[in-house]
A = this chain, B = another copy of it.
Amino acid sequence: MRQEHTEPSAISISGGINYPMLKERRRRLGSRIFAAEKMLVTRMLQSIGDPPVQIVLWNRQVISNHDGRAVAQVLIRDHGALLKLVSDPERYFGELYSAQRIEVQGNLLDFLDAAYRVWPQNRQGWSGKKLLAPFYDTRRNDLPDARRNIHHHYDIGNDFYKLWLDERMVYTCAYFPSPSTGLEDAQLAKLDHICRKLCLRPGQKVVEAGCGWGALALHMAKHYGVKVTAYNISREQITFARQRAHAEGLDGQVEFIEDDYRNVRGEFDAFASIGMLEHVGTDHYRELGEIINRSLKDSGRGLIHTIGLNYPRPMDAWTERHIFPGACPPSLAQVMQIFEPFDFSVLDVENLRLHYAKTLEHWLQRYEKNVDRVTEMFDQEFARAWRLYLAGSHTAFKIGGMQLFQVSFARAGHNQIPWTRQYLYEAPYISLGGPDGKL
């Protein structure tokens, strides 16, 4: 798939004989081809909302409507890349960038910001995308597909994620009590924030659906004195989590089960699911509701933490294909499909969008510091794809294309709920010298 950069290539349409007449014909044909390319690129730019960028072709020819105000130059290195890009920019930009057939000259984040800001308005009006929407919900996340999809992303290798996550390996949006809080403290504050929202009391039983590398389950057990049963279908993550539980002497309090959330068994005081719903698929929401309904005691309380959208739409094609197969973040109305059939009451929704932008800023900084190591471990294509994914995600949260919802819920008639939300904010988090949850 990968194609080396040869510059300038595509305009060498004749052989090497240098007669003046042939030279003239070649010039004319070249300029006609360039006119066609210019038209294609201009149309593509218009179709994606006319972002303030310059397109530079392999032959150094420049196409732009924003000469003075362009935030970045996009260098297209060959004719094939151009044709792919204009055919479906959403799908192929990422592929071509990863393969170095497209380069962004200038700040990648500034470029993505400029492109994403004009993009969404445009997508809403684009009927091709709307036509696809009905198929959006049918992405398969049945058991075998879910296992394959999760394996694709989360079993890349713990060593890879260690290069850019915090020390606890928390791969979800952090909670920054202030924007200047460091990532380690912010992830710890997030774990605490969730435990507070769940009103955990020592001795309670908690089930976690999709537990990542186990940070929340271990935090709950250690600081809130609860017993946790945690499910995950990523073998690499479960192995890591078990090792950590053993190292911290928490084996007796936390059980890590390598299985799907659909196989949760037992009755619990609290249900938590952090960053799993994105992978569940909206056609499985009622099933998830059933599982919560059968797992939660009458006095139980739950929290779902998920990437979300302001309105339903498919994940961008490149991310869905190359980074997160099967992923589809829901709108808030879609999330309600979990709760409505079972008469659950939503008690609180907190949108932490800017906290995810900040989290991704930290991840990207750490990633860039270790990008050479990533290239060694995999290859340059992989390293560039993940850079684009982290940078693009940061930008999407920053400009409001993606949301982060924490949704707390309980059964309809359960009245032992906190009177106000003030208690969440009364004591500093453990990471900032606040009290241990058990105390």
Binding site for B on A (CB under 8 A): 117, 120, 124, 175-179, 310-312, 331-333, 336-337, 339-341, 343-351, 353-354, 398-401, 403, 405, 411-415, 417, 419-422, 424-426
Contact = CB atoms under 8 A, between A and B. Distances in A.
B421 A425 contact: yes
A343 B311 contact: yes
Contacts of A413: 117, 399-400
Contacts of A310: 339-340, 343-346, 412
Contacts of A422: 177, 425
A413 B177 CA distance: 22
Contact of A354 (B179, B311, B415): B415
Given A177-B420, A345-B403, A413-B400, A340 B333 contact: yes
A417 B354 contact: yes
Contacts of A424: 421, 425
Contact of A411 (B345, B351, B400): B400
Contacts of A400: 343, 345, 411-415
Contacts of A331: 336, 340
Contacts of A340: 310-312, 331, 333
Contact of A120 (B177, B179, B339, B343): B343
Contact of A332 (B346, B354, B403, B412): B346
A359 to B, nearest CB: 13
A122 to B, nearest CB: 12
Contacts of A349: 346, 348-349
A350 B337 CA distance: 19
Contacts of A345: 310, 351, 353, 400, 403
A421 B352 CA distance: 10
Given A310-B340, A333-B340, 7 more contacts: A177-B422, A179-B419, A310-B346, A354-B415, A400-B411, A422-B425, A424-B425
A267 to B, nearest CB: 19
A426 B351 CA distance: 20
Contacts of A401: 412
Contacts of A398: 415
B337 A333 contact: yes
A56 to B, nearest CB: 28
Contacts of A343: 120, 124, 310-311, 400
A133 to B, nearest CB: 13
Nearest to A340: B311
Nearest to A410: B400
A176 B419 contact: yes
Given A331-B340, A340-B333, A346 B351 contact: yes
A205 to B, nearest CB: 23
Nearest to A352: B420
Nearest to A411: B400
Contacts of A346: 310, 332, 349, 351, 403, 405
A371 B37 CA distance: 82
A309 to B, nearest CB: 9
Contacts of A426: 425
A354 B420 CA distance: 10
A120 B412 CA distance: 10
Q: In the complex, which of the residues A332, A337, A400, A420 has the most CB atoms of chain B within 10 Å of its own CB atom?
A: A420
A92 to B, nearest CB: 26
